């Protein structure tokens, strides 16, 4: 009996009941938009890296090392287990991640590399790359986006220079036998192993640097606020929101790294903070880019606007021109084994994108309906089509729409109404 497998970038992977990666998604691997010279994501990446290079130096050399070429194919251990993400946590769901098989997926965040880099002995580092999440389809969501993650760890002598009586750890925590200590996160202020002094100083440094970075990017007058958050791998944790375009927008998550993660990766005498920023959000806001799909544009009308620019120059994207949208609805009856509550929206979205490609601008669930007599379940979706670089004809859209309908019938066993 032969074992089913897929080829991804020349490597063979066994497939199983978790496999949900599609050829369309595989085609994004290796595009590395964050490294493309004239891509707005690359400009934001360089500005962030420059901030960390210039703000932290040791004897004139940058203290942060930068990893921007790590392979996006990771294990569930890297993406979840090493980060203390519980086995029943919703972020592991098949409906939210692109799995290659039960043990392997496309990383859902850059934090997936945190433990391995700590284990290799690094103390200050940035991890930059493409991450993959199944999500809805609209102008701000795309299944691939880019993140900059960072870690800064310090020993007692670095955190409290010249203050030998200040400690990172509480007296009942034994650095030689860290496994004998049960590290609680019940106190909202700090982890039980850490002193309040060490936690507060790290919190201040973390917040000060992230605000300084935000001001470098958006200008001195940017309005911001900190929001308490929860991440399984940090405690305490926060999100930073900026006031932009008349609304609060989340731009990063951060916190004090859980001591268990440091201990299993190596350092038992340090405290660390970590953060993760989304590059698309920042680039779209900074340059007023209205649609996330434009990041993937190879059109010279787009890319030349970001060519040969001074990194800190104020650039406002000028739409090359705006082509019209075309909206078609799709209604169908679900087969007996599915209900309007068990049908997985993200499965539908992936199929629509697989067939329609990048002319799909948005997919909206328009209506849910249970027939009062037959008890049959029905769904209606609106699909908005728009090409970024030319006008689509209604006939052309109808043809794509028909092809999607056929695939939806074949894949989910629905009946088009
Ligand atoms: N990985 C988190 C996310 O993707 C961001 C984060 C990174 C939060 C590091 C805390 C520390 O949302």
From the CB of 278, is ligand 1 less than 6 Å away?
Answer: no
In the prediction, which pLDDT does 310 show? 86
Instruction: Quote the domain boundaries for residue 123.
Output: 5-293
**Boundary-marking domain end, from 252, 273, 293:** 293
How far is 174 from 195, CA to CA, in rounded Å? 13
Residues 35 and 173 in one domain: yes
In the prediction, which pLDDT does 313 show? 85
Distance between Cα 143 and ligand 1 center (Å): 17
From the CB of 274, is ligand 1 less than 6 Å away?
Answer: yes
From the CB of 353, is ligand 1 less than 6 Å away?
Answer: no
**Do 256 and 225 touch, CB atoms closer than 8 A?**
no
Over residues 328-353, mean pLDDT: 95
Residues 187 and 331 in one domain: no
Distance between Cα 267 and ligand 1 center (Å): 21
Residues 66 and 198 in one domain: yes
Please check whether residue 200 lies inside any domain of the structure.
yes
Residues 183 and 237 in one domain: yes
Nearest partner of 266 among 82, 156, 78, 120, judged by Cα: 120
Residues 14 and 106 in one domain: yes
Using the atom order of ligand 1, give the atom closest to the CA of residue 257.
11
Q: Is the pLDDT of residue 2 over 90?
A: no
Which class for 287: exposed (0-12), middle (13-18), buried (19 or more C-beta within 10 A)?
A: middle
Count up the domains in the chain and report the number: 2
- Angle between helix 279-287 and helix 40-55 axes, rounded to 10 deg: 110
Residues 181 and 277 in one domain: yes
Over residues 94-105, mean pLDDT: 97
Residues 271 and 404 in one domain: no
How many DSSP H helices and E strands does the chain contain? 11, 18
From the CB of 104, is ligand 1 less than 6 Å away?
Answer: no
**Boundary-marking domain end, from 247, 275, 293:** 293
Per-residue buried b or exposed e for 189-228, using 16+ beta carbons within 10 Å of the residue's own CB: ebbbbbbeebbebbbeebbebbeebbebbbeeeeebeeee
Please check whether residue 126 lies inside any domain of the structure.
yes
Distance between Cα 148 and ligand 1 center (Å): 9
Using the atom order of ligand 1, give the atom closest to the CA of residue 276.
7
Please check whether residue 320 lies inside any domain of the structure.
no
In the prediction, which pLDDT does 58 show? 85
Residues 96 and 47 in one domain: yes
Name the residue of 90, 107, 111 to mutate for ligand 1: max ligand atoms within 8 A of Cβ: 111
Please check whether residue 283 lies inside any domain of the structure.
yes
pLDDT in tens, 129-148: 999 999 989 999 999 999 99
In the prediction, which pLDDT does 1 show? 54
Please check whether residue 304 lies inside any domain of the structure.
no
């Amino acid at each position: 009996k032969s074992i089913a497998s897929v080829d991804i970038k020349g490597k063979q992977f066994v497939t199983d009941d978790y496999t949900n990666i599609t050829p369309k998604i595989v085609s994004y691997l290796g595009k590395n938009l964050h490294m493309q010279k004239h891509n707005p994501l690359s400009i934001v990446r360089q500005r962030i890296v420059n901030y960390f290079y210039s703000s932290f130096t040791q004897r004139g050399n940058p203290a942060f090392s930068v990893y921007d070429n790590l392979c996006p194919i990771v294990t569930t251990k890297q993406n979840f287990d090493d980060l203390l993400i519980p086995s029943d946590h919703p972020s592991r769901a098949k409906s939210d991640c692109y799995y290659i098989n039960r043990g392997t997926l496309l990383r859902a965040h850059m934090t997936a590399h945190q433990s391995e880099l700590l284990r290799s002995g690094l103390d200050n580092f940035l991890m930059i790359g493409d991450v993959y999440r199944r999500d809805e389809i609209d102008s701000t969501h795309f299944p691939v986006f880019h993140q900059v993650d960072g870690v800064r760890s310090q020993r007692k002598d670095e955190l409290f220079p010249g203050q030998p009586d200040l400690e990172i750890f509480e007296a009942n925590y034994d650095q030689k036998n860290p496994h004998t200590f049960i590290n609680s996160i019940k106190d909202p202020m700090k982890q039980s192993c850490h002193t309040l002094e060490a936690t507060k100083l790290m919190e201040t440094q973390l917040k000060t640097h992230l605000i300084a970075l935000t001001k470098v990017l958006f200008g001195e007058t940017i309005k911001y606020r900190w929001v308490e958050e929860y991440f399984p791998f940090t405690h305490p944790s926060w999100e930073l929101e900026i006031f932009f375009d008349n609304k609060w927008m989340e731009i990063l998550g951060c916190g004090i790294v859980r001591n268990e993660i440091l201990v299993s990766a190596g350092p038992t005498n340090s405290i660390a903070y970590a953060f993760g920023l989304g590059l698309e959000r920042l680039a779209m806001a900074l340059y007023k880019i209205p649609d996330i799909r434009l990041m993937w544009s190879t059109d010279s009308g787009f890319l030349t606007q970001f060519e040969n620019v001074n990194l800190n120059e104020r650039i406002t994207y000028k739409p090359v021109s705006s082509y019209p949208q075309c909206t078609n609805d799709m209604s169908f009856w679900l087969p007996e084994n599915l209900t309007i509550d068990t049908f997985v929206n993200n499965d539908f979205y992936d199929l629509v994108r697989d067939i329609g490609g990048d002319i799909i601008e948005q997919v909206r669930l328009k209506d849910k309906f249970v027939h009062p007599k037959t008890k049959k379940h029905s769904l209606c979706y609106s699909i908005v089509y728009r090409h970024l670089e030319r006008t689509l004809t209604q006939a052309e859209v109808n043809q794509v729409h028909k092809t999607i309908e056929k695939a939806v019938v074949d894949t989910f066993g629905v009946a088009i109404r």
